[in-house]
Amino acid sequence: MKVCVIGSGSWGTALSQVLADAGSAVSLVARREEVAASINRVHRNPDYLADAVLSENVRATCSALEGLAQADACVVVTPSRYLRDTAHMLCGLIPSHLPIVICSKGAEAGTGALPVEVFEQELGNKDRLCVLSGPTHAEEVVHRIPSGAVCASSSEATAVLFRDLFSTDYFRTYTSDDVVGVELCGAFKNVIAIAVGISYGLGMGDDTAAMLITRGLAEMGRCAGACGGEALTCMGLAGAGDMVVTCMSRHSRNRRFGEDYIAHGKTLADFEADTHMVVEGALACKTLEVLGRRHEVELPLTDAVRAIIWQGADPMLVARTLLDRPLRSEF
């Protein structure tokens, strides 16, 4: 198959490698001519994962029209804040039946719409839409370290198509019909990873991290259930799996942002200026508030992270407030 990958950041680059290893011809759409030229000439992305040599089956272009020409499937790997713009751009370029898998995590600012909802609103035909999520750091996937992910779609045929498209001897894929649950897991885990990072940055320990992860899973499950997802999904690869790796891995930009920046008085702007990377959890803690209010779900950890990042609250005082919450039954 020919697969077009929209987005040449770390995850788009790593997934292009996976797809090529699985046997597809990949057309990777980059924003910058220098990136496309480097990938085509020396098989390296100079901006992201530069130590990885990409397959010769990965070719890059700066033209979405060129990349999508005769494509059998489309993989969208752009930051969540640009998803609607991406969907709108694709509207006039792709046929109504072309399968699309969205690999971005988060909810839309203002509306709380999840990625598949955004694409359905812009492009229609939700049965050709899928979402890919799981405990998969690009830094490890691109070097073929064994990983697993789940492909969720309202259409079993679409989920199976992308399951098989991404499957290799090191990248194991599963299917799910719980699109809402998988997408909410992907948004929540980044928020909790920031909280875990802040706790380490403040001098707290592994016990604190484990408590935050576990209570974060409970928060994730409450919201997923209220929004029409399945709580059990939160125990799978997209939920517990991605939560653990994002909170504990040295590769996690969300944890690093909390630990090295927020806990030490630095800002989101500082992190983005230093790394040129998007901290999805910083946006998700705002957008998930919309869903919490809409469905009357209590989200204390999400609220705490939002107060620290966007309202300038003191991290230690917020931590104290969380610890002083009334005692209750765990479940």
Which residues are marked as active site? 189
Can you tell me the distance from the alpha carbon of 149 to that of 136, in angstroms, rounded to the nearest whole number? 7
CB-facing half-sphere around the CA of 155: CA atoms within 13 A: 15
Burial (CB count within 10 angstroms: exposed 0-12, middle 13-18, buried 19+), residue 304: buried
Q: CB of 243 within 8 A of CB of 182?
A: no
Residue type for position 36: A
The DSSP bridge pattern shows strands 2-6 and 73-76 to be parallel
* Cβ contacts of 120-125, under 8 Å, gap ≥ 24: 121/87, 122/84, 122/87, 122/88, 122/90, 122/91, 123/87, 123/90, 123/91, 123/94, 123/96, 124/96, 125/96, 125/97
User: CA of 265: how far to CAs of 52, 158, 252, in Å?
Assistant: 34, 45, 19
> Exposed, middle or buried: residue 170 (CB in 10 Å: 0-12, 13-18, 19+)?
middle
- Quote the CA–CA distance of 301 and 188 in Å, as a whole number: 10
Rounded to an integer, what distance in angstroms lies between the CA atom of residue 94 and that of residue 151? Answer: 21
Secondary structure letter of residue 126 according to DSSP: G
